[in-house]
Structure 1
Amino acid sequence: MSWASWGDFFAMGGYALYVWGSYLVALGIMITEIALLALRRRSALAGLRARGAAREGRR
């Protein structure tokens, strides 16, 4: 594919809303997944620390 100008590229032959909208949705999903993974990791580490502290308290 070739475009005559950057404006034509960004217009995507009249399908810009669908094309760029799809990219934005995909990017949003990836960012959300990374954020949720970070939250789950933080929660898991806190749980392990609490379990380790409880185990040390029983000794």
Structure 2
Amino acid sequence: METQQPRDYDLAEPPYEPSAVPGCADCLSLVVARQNARSSADYSAASDRNVELRGHQAEAHAS
């Protein structure tokens, strides 16, 4: 029987969680929705709000 050697895994940091751009009501709304989802243990919805927030920021706040 052949034994397997442990592998080296490159573990990456989880993606950062975006924050609201100051003064943007749309960003703030998504951050609040994310917090509400997380407080009710709906982590899928919280993740969805992160995706929406990143998309909004790429579209509305790209430099």
Question: TM-score, structure 1 length as denominator?
Answer: 0.34
Larger relative helix fraction: 1
Compare CA radii of gyration and give the structure with the larger one.
1
Structure possessing the higher relative contact order (Cα contacts under 8 Å, 6 or more residues apart): 2
